């Protein structure tokens, strides 16, 4: 037996984000990271070079360096796993996965983020659909909808 269709009015309101937003990783001390919002990608990803694995009493951590806009930032985060993740070119790569709070606009939540070489990409960070699910609606025709201080722009006309 089919379930009755859910009335959209019964679902909680979600924040609207554009196809690109500024993102913060507050526990790591990273702020104003330009990110592409990508519903086609399952996993979120951050451009990073893994520097070392750290074993502490409370768990495993990874220390990494992130570069964007010509500035190098270092961070430490909980190391969740090393996984095979398929990149946009179809190749599967082994990547470190961290779990840390992410802030987009006024909303903060924990997310898993793979650390990858994104040096050939336009954005140092990608927010995938797992992080977006049940939190945000994406307006692909606009940018910076949840990013205070950024000029709201319409995307290119097709």
Task: Kindly report the pTM of this predicted structure.
Answer: 0.84
Phi and psi torsions of 69, nearest 5°: 50, 35
Average pLDDT, the chain: 87
> pLDDT tens digit string along 111-156?
999 999 888 889 999 999 999 999 999 999 999 999 977 765 554 4
How confident is the model over 50-56, as a mean pLDDT?
92
What pLDDT, in 10s, does the model give residues 76-120? 999 889 888 887 778 888 899 999 999 999 999 999 999 998 888
Q: Is position 84 within any domain? A: yes
Q: What's the CATH code of the domain at 105?
A: 2.40.70.10
Domain that residue 90 falls in = 15-150
CA distances from 124 to 3, 5, 115 (A): 41, 39, 10
Residue 108 CA to residue 92 CA, distance in Å, equals 30
Half-sphere exposure of 132 (CA within 13 A, CB side): 25
Tell whether the model's pLDDT for residue 52 goes beyond 90: yes
pLDDT bin (cut points 50, 70, 90) of residue 62 is very high
Q: Is residue 68 part of a domain?
A: yes
Which residues have a Cβ under 8 Å from the Cβ of 125 and sit 6 or more positions away?
A: 23, 33, 34, 35, 36, 44, 45, 46, 47, 113, 118
9 inside domain: no
Whether 158 has a pLDDT exceeding 50, the answer reads no
- Rounded CA-CA distance 70/73 in Å is 10
Structure tokens at 152: 């709201």
SS3 64: strand
In a domain, 4, yes or no: no
Q: Is residue 106 part of a domain?
A: yes
Does 1 map to a domain?
A: no
CA separation for the pair 67, 74 (Å, rounded):
9
Question: Is 19 within a domain?
Answer: yes
Q: Does 8 reside within a domain?
A: no
Please state the separation of Cα 6 from the chain's center in Å: 28
What is the domain count for the chain? 1
């Amino acid at each position: 037996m089919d379930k009755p269709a859910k009335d959209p009015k019964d679902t909680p309101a979600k924040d609207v984000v554009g196809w690109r937003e500024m993102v913060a990783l507050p526990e790591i001390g990273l702020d104003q990271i330009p990110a592409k919002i990508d519903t086609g990608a399952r996993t979120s990803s951050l451009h990073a070079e893994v520097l070392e694995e750290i074993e502490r009493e409370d768990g495993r951590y990874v220390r990494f360096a992130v570069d964007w806009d010509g500035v190098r930032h270092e961070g430490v985060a909980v190391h969740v796993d090393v996984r095979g993740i398929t990149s946009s070119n179809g190749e599967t790569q082994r990547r470190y996965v961290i779990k840390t709070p992410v802030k987009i606009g006024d909303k903060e939540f924990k997310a898993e983020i793979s650390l990858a070489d994104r040096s050939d990409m336009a954005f140092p960070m990608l927010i995938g659909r797992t992080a977006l699910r049940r939190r945000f609606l994406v307006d692909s025709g606009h940018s910076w909808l949840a990013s205070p201080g950024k000029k709201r722009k319409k995307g290119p006309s097709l």
